[in-house]
Amino acid sequence: MTNQTLSINLATLRNGWSFGEMVDGCLRHDITAIAPWRDQVESVGLAEAARIVKSNGLRVTGLCRGGMFPAATPEGIAKANDDNLRAIDEAAAIGADCLVLVVGGLPGSSKDIVGARKMVADGIAAMLPHARAAGVPLAIEPLHPMYAADRACVNTIDQALDLCALLGAGVGVAIDVYHVWWDPNLAAAILRAGAMRAILAHHICDWLVPTRDMLLDRGMMGDGVIDLKAIRFMLEAAGYHGPQEVEIFSRDTWWKRPGDEVLATCRERLATVC
């Protein structure tokens, strides 16, 4: 497996490095694909981030993130829509393969998850014409059900694909193993996504046992229980041969280690575990 199949989601390098230092670190390890977060781009400025990407010949496998559609008021919905239109422009400016959407959970004190999912569909529909015009595919990322209330009320690949079928061209899915590995319908859902040509990104890390924090204790590939090779085989059988994007939120472990150690480990694990 060549280095060209490895992308680093820059959340993995939240260790104090600047955007430029993250890029320099990736290049030292012969990694030429990245996926930044919007706050990381904002910290250096959109124009400078675009210059760094272009001057180094980087592939941007995704920009994280848009979404967070449900809101308790019309003003909140309008604010989310405006932010998502800006996110599309930012993704276009840095040449991102897609804009990743984390769709949001229940608004305010609501218990209406069906209504929240309707807000998600409406929110994507509202931004989709701008995304199509900008040439930015929208990648719905289903999140593990433990996040259904606060981060994402779309929790399976099939739910995301139902939205893709409803909304049409320009919408696909980001398949993150951390969120979908448990799904008993995983293999069939990935085949369905492949048949729809909807797979826009593949994110990897591992699920630790025990997990000490629902958000910030992801594992390095090979340190947990996810069968990464099996999921990659499913994706390739479905026709996806794009990069494997390492996205690790690890407040107490990997974020405390030197960036070069993290990157070297990512490369080694991709070759031996993934």
Considering only CA atoms, give the Rg of the chain. Answer: 18
Q: In the chain, how many domains are there? A: 1
Q: How far apart are CA 183 and CA 157, in angstroms?
A: 9
pLDDT at 1: 38
User: Closest Cα partner for 170 from 122, 206, 118, 135?
Assistant: 135
- Alpha-helix runs per DSSP H in 45-156: 46-55, 74-93, 113-134
User: Closest Cα partner for 205 from 260, 162, 144, 150?
Assistant: 144
Q: How far apart are CA 35 and CA 11, in angstroms?
A: 8
Report phi then psi at 140, rounded to 5: -70, 125
Residues of the chain with pLDDT below 50 are: 1-3
pLDDT at 32: 97
Global model pTM greater than 0.75:
yes
pLDDT at 165: 98
Helix, strand, or coil (residue 259) = helix
Q: What Å distances lie between residue 224 and 93, 212, 260, CA to CA?
A: 36, 13, 22
Contact 88, 127 (CB under 8 A): yes
Supply the mean pLDDT for the chain: 97
The domain in which residue 25 lies consists of 3-272
> Would you call the peptide bond into 65 cis, given omega within 30 degrees of 0 as the criterion?
yes
Q: Looking at this protein, which amino acid is placed at residue 109?
A: S
In terms of Cβ atoms closer than 10 Å to its own Cβ (0-12, 13-18, 19+), residue 18 is exposed
The CATH number linked to 260 is: 3.20.20.150
pLDDT at 71: 98
pLDDT at 3: 43
Query: Reading across the β-sheet that carries 171-176, which strands appear in turn?
Result: 59-60, 33-35, 6-9, 244-246, 199-204, 171-176, 138-140, 99-102, 63-67
